[in-house]
């Protein structure tokens, strides 16, 4: 039994053990990894964010269809009805976090098989553990999966395929307009650029940071900068700050605790 949470792994950048879920070990990705794989970060994370909960809309035809479907099965159905290659996208993302080229679909069992290239161990990703994996992947990339905006369609449509396609387009628009995390108001390159010039780290060092570390550093630097600006205002006679709440920046950069834990 472990007394630490997954947040220890997120901050350290170490590989994350998921053997208790029969998911082996996954690695946290750096900005350089996304360049190496030629993979856009938004495309990488999309399969782990997209779930039936985003699609629900108060007992219409889609809700009835999705009622008993779990997350991985939903992605297969989603691809079938929209012709959007979400499963192919998922396979690429899994290849990255498992650092293997041997990832394939088991259509008979609605599962994805991952073969570890160093140990040849086989991991089966299915409806029983995919939600766990999605939560971990989102958390290690600084995204709270529970806060991803849900889609609220304006009206119910009888044609299920058209409804799925409409909601897919709406979802993509919302993903651009309503970012899953406050730091995503900047692109990851914006964040990296800011961290380089305000942290004293080199470009090489920053590009070797994991996405979690990079976002966390950006958030901390932003809090420090805001604190110093407020401090200068308070000691200046030009500004009335008597009614403003003044909190030290260290009280505003506490890390979120993982929604999962390593305990049995």
pLDDT, position 238 = 58
Q: Answer left, alpha or beta for residue 117, where phi above 0 means left and psi between -120 and 50 means alpha.
A: alpha
pLDDT, position 66 = 76
Average pLDDT for residues 239-263, to the nearest whole number?
A: 55
Contacts of 131 (CB under 8 A, 6+ apart): 51, 70, 71
Across 157-171, 215-229, 237-251, the highest mean pLDDT is recorded for 215-229
Q: Would you state the torsion angle of the CA atoms of residues 26, 27, 31, 37, taken in this order, to the nearest 10 degrees?
A: -60
pLDDT, position 96 = 97
pLDDT, position 246 = 46
Is the model's pLDDT at 84 over the cut of 90? no
pLDDT digits (tens, 9 = 90+) for 120-139: 899 999 999 999 999 999 99
pLDDT, position 190 = 87
pTM above 0.85, yes or no: no
Tell me the backbone φ, ψ of residue 229, rounded to 5 degrees.
-65, -45
pLDDT digits (tens, 9 = 90+) for 6-43: 999 999 999 999 999 999 999 999 999 999 999 999 89
pLDDT digits (tens, 9 = 90+) for 172-206: 655 554 544 444 467 888 888 888 888 889 999 99
What is the token pair recorded at 18? Answer: 């998921």
């Amino acid at each position: 039994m472990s007394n630490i949470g997954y947040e220890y792994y997120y901050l350290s950048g170490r590989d994350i053990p998921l053997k208790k879920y029969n998911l082996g070990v996954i690695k946290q990705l750096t900005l350089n990894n996304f360049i190496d794989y030629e993979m856009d970060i938004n495309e990488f994370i999309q399969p782990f964010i997209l779930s039936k909960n985003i699609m629900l809309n108060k007992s219409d035809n889609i809700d009835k269809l999705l009622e008993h479907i779990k997350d991985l099965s939903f992605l297969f159905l989603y691809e079938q009805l929209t012709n959007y290659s979400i499963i192919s996208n998922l396979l690429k993302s899994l290849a990255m976090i498992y650092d293997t080229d041997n990832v394939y679909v088991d259509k008979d069992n609605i599962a994805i098989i991952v073969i570890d290239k160093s140990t040849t161990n086989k991991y089966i990703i299915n409806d029983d553990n995919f939600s766990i994996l999605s939560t971990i992947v989102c958390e290690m990339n600084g995204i709270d999966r529970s806060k991803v905006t849900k889609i609220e369609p304006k009206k119910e449509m009888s044609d299920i395929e058209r409804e799925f396609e409409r909601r897919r387009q709406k979802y993509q628009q919302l993903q651009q307009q309503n970012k899953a995390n406050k730091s995503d108001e900047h692109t990851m390159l914006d964040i990296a650029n800011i961290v380089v010039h305000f942290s004293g780290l080199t470009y090489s060092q920053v590009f070797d940071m994991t996405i979690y570390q990079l976002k966390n550093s950006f958030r901390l630097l932003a809090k420090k900068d805001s604190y110093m600006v407020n401090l200068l205002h308070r000691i200046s006679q030009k500004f009335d700050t008597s009614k403003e709440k003044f909190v030290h920046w260290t009280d505003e950069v506490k890390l979120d605790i993982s929604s999962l834990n390593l305990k049995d």
